[in-house]
Amino acid sequence: MTSGTPAGWYTNPGDATTNRYWDGSQWTEHLMAASAPPAPPAAPLGTASYPPPAPTTIPTTQSSSATKKWVIGGAIAAGVIVAGSVGGAIGAGRNGAAPAPTVTITAEAAAPVETPEAAPAREETPEAAASEESTPAADPVAFIAQSNSHLDDMLKDLGDIEVTVAEEGFWRLLSNYAELSFNLGQLQGLDVPASVANDWTASLTTLEDRIDDLSDAIATEDGPTILGSVDDLRAQVEATREVANSAR
């Protein structure tokens, strides 16, 4: 509306269902329903009668209190804020409908999810740690019986190798060697009493070396070389038996 428009109630440019008071120079904050507007003040003689002619422009100067603010309060879920912008010129005129405002809804970034704090680690007492780490002591009697059984099997395999060499049955040597390696693995898997643990480990290491030497000898396919390696391995088997029998 122009500054020449008389003061009075006119259709609210922002909401056609209400009237807003124009004080002659700017819009005020006074609003009322458009269905029952009061009679306008009597216009002085010589001035335009009510209603005034349709304005052609909208006042360009308005107080900060007259500026319409669009606020949609509240957040939805993770937080939704609404920024409103009114586009286009608002048509003036008593019976003209104001254009609908354009509203842009922008979702905020999802609020960070708070993860529960990790439960404090259980404090272990020295007694509890010792209980968890300790294992039952190996039974010397069972150890001696089991180790001697596997060592006896190794001696039997060595006797079979000597027979195979005498019969020149080379391929059977490979089967005998595989059985020796199997028995070594059984010896390495035994529960060893602490009293012989170090000597047992050293003895099995030497026993494994002698088995490797026998493998090299079999590869030569030379009878005397194979038999010499058999003798060395048999001596180590007996040495390992002595270590086993010393367990207590």
Q: Same domain, yes or no, for 86 and 155?
A: no
Task: Specify the pLDDT at position 135.
Answer: 57
Give domain status of residue 239, yes or no.
yes
Task: Specify the pLDDT at position 225.
Answer: 95
Domain boundaries, position 40: 8-59+68-90+102-107
Q: What is the H or E stretch that residue 231 is in?
A: helix 223-245
Q: Same domain, yes or no, for 157 and 236?
A: yes
Give domain status of residue 128, yes or no.
no
Taking only the tens place, the pLDDT of each residue in 42-77 is 444 444 444 444 443 344 334 333 333 333 333 333
Task: Specify the pLDDT at position 24.
Answer: 87
Task: Please choose, from the candidates 237, 238, 244, the residue with its C-alpha nearest in 3D space to the C-alpha of residue 139.
Answer: 244
Q: Determine the Cα–Cα distance for residues 184 and 139; give it in Å rounded to an integer.
A: 20
Task: Specify the pLDDT at position 206.
Answer: 97
What's the chain's average pLDDT?
72
State the average pLDDT over residues 218-247: 95
Q: Same domain, yes or no, for 143 and 233?
A: yes
Task: Specify the pLDDT at position 126.
Answer: 56
State the average pLDDT over residues 184-192: 96
Taking only the tens place, the pLDDT of each residue in 74-100 is 333 333 333 333 334 333 444 444 444
Q: Which of 27-36, 76-85, 118-127, 204-213 has the highest mean pLDDT?
A: 204-213
Share of the chain above pLDDT 90, in %: 41
Give domain status of residue 116, yes or no.
no
CA distances from 114 to 75, 80, 176 (A): 19, 19, 66
Task: Please choose, from the candidates 187, 129, 102, 122, the residue with its C-alpha nearest in 3D space to the C-alpha of residue 153.
Answer: 187
Q: Which of 19-28, 104-113, 116-125 has the highest mean pLDDT?
A: 19-28
Q: Which residue has the higher pLDDT, 48 or 188?
A: 188
Give domain status of residue 119, yes or no.
no
Q: What is the largest CA-CA distance in the chain?
A: 147
Residue 124 has pLDDT above 50, yes or no: yes
Q: How is residue 55 written in tokens?
A: 């304005």
Give domain status of residue 13, yes or no.
yes
Q: Are 241 and 147 in contact (CB under 8 A)?
A: yes
Q: Same domain, yes or no, for 74 and 167?
A: no
Q: Which pLDDT band holds residue 28 (cuts at 50, 70, 90)?
A: very high
Task: Specify the pLDDT at position 245.
Answer: 96
Q: Same domain, yes or no, for 168 and 226?
A: yes
Task: Specify the pLDDT at position 122.
Answer: 55
Residue 178 backbone dihedrals phi, psi, to 5 degrees:
-65, -35
Output the CA torsion sign for 59, 63, 66, 70: positive
Give domain status of residue 3, yes or no.
no
Q: Same domain, yes or no, for 208 and 146?
A: yes
Domain containing residue 206: CATH number: 1.20.120.290
Q: How many domains does the chain have?
A: 2
Share of the chain above pLDDT 70, in %: 58
Task: Specify the pLDDT at position 34.
Answer: 80
Give domain status of residue 52, yes or no.
yes
State the average pLDDT over residues 170-184: 90
Q: Same domain, yes or no, for 78 and 147?
A: no
Give domain status of residue 97, yes or no.
no
Q: Determine the Cα–Cα distance for residues 43 and 106; give it in Å rounded to an integer.
A: 48
